[in-house]
Amino acid sequence: MNLDLLPLDCFAHILSFASAREACQLSIISETIRSMTDSDVVWDNFLPFDCEEVLSRLDTPVIYRTKKELYFKLCCLHHMDGGTKMFYLDKETAKKCYILGARELQIQWSNNPLYWSWNSQPFIKSRFDEVAELRTIWWLEIKGLFNAKLLSPKTLYSVYLLVKFADRAYGLDTHPSQASVQLDMVLSKRKVYLNNNGRGSNKNRAIVNGGDDREEGIDDWVEIELGEFYVNDLEDGVVEMCLKEVESQHLRGGLIVEGIQLTPKIKL
């Protein structure tokens, strides 16, 4: 079958079952195919259904000439909601991803300078203006809430706590912490250790830090997997994410919290 002879709307419908990567690969077949794969009709399929709402919440306007250009610009990190969150599209799946900054989280005792400090020093190299650093405490509890309807439907998501460890860090991995992720009545629980042996994969980091975000030191954040959850069709619920360790009752310190990342779970 000669793809060059297909009407644009039919060609766009076929590509709606493909990925953005596959659309780019098809563009090398011929000039006609390239003009069709570059059309706004095709790339509308890869943009979020609520793209206009997403764009309105970004702190910096996105300037684009075509929907294809808009797609690839959204695959880079963008601050939103006054710098408290970050948004990007997963380049492989076109799914929506978010990072909640530390100020968006409910960190127990974080307003007490005896236990936590809010750090904006440039050597930490965070994506956000502020991160939370644990001075010393025995009750460790970090929670995050997120509206599921803002995520991509029919998608399995993974949740990661983004942290660093100060040189003076102590008492963080002598006892496992309880991690949990819940949406509606479905609860994912696991035990994790707060150390440098996190997820370790750079796959999503390469996507998250696209464009001008490739800065030395910005990838040093350790990703502690808290769990996963599945979003149905436009699910109207709240994702509850938590890391907690209160049983051992020993002092710990030196944990630096950047935020919580929600990203599609890609099975290779």
d(CA 140, CA 117): 14
Q: What is the pLDDT of residue 30?
A: 60
Q: Report the distance separating Cα 195 and Cα 173, nearest Å.
A: 6
Query: What span, in angstroms and rounded, lies between the C-alpha atoms of 103 and 11?
Result: 45
Q: How far apart are CA 238 and CA 246, in angstroms?
A: 24
Residue-level pLDDT at 268: 44
The upper half-sphere exposure of residue 33, i.e. CA atoms within 13 Å in the direction of its Cβ, equals 14
How far are the Cα atoms of 30, 107, 108 from residue 68, in angstroms, in the given order?
A: 18, 39, 43
pLDDT of residue 142: 98
Does the pTM surpass 0.75? The reply is yes
Determine the Cα–Cα distance for residues 246 and 9; give it in Å rounded to an integer: 58
Q: What is the mean pLDDT of each run of 10 residues along the chain (268 residues)?
A: 60 66 66 70 89 97 95 96 96 94 97 94 87 96 97 96 94 94 94 77 37 52 96 87 94 96 82
Q: Give the pLDDT score at 38.
A: 75
The residue among 170, 168, 171, 181 whose CA lies nearest residue 263 is: 181
Residue 209: what pLDDT? 41
Task: Check the CA dihedral 40-46-49-51 and report its sign.
Answer: negative
Q: Which domains does the chain have, with CATH numbers?
A: 7-75 (no CATH), 96-264 (2.60.120.260)
Cα–Cα distance between 145 and 106 in angstroms, integer?
9
User: Would you state the pLDDT for residue 12?
Assistant: 64
- What does the pLDDT read at residue 203? 35
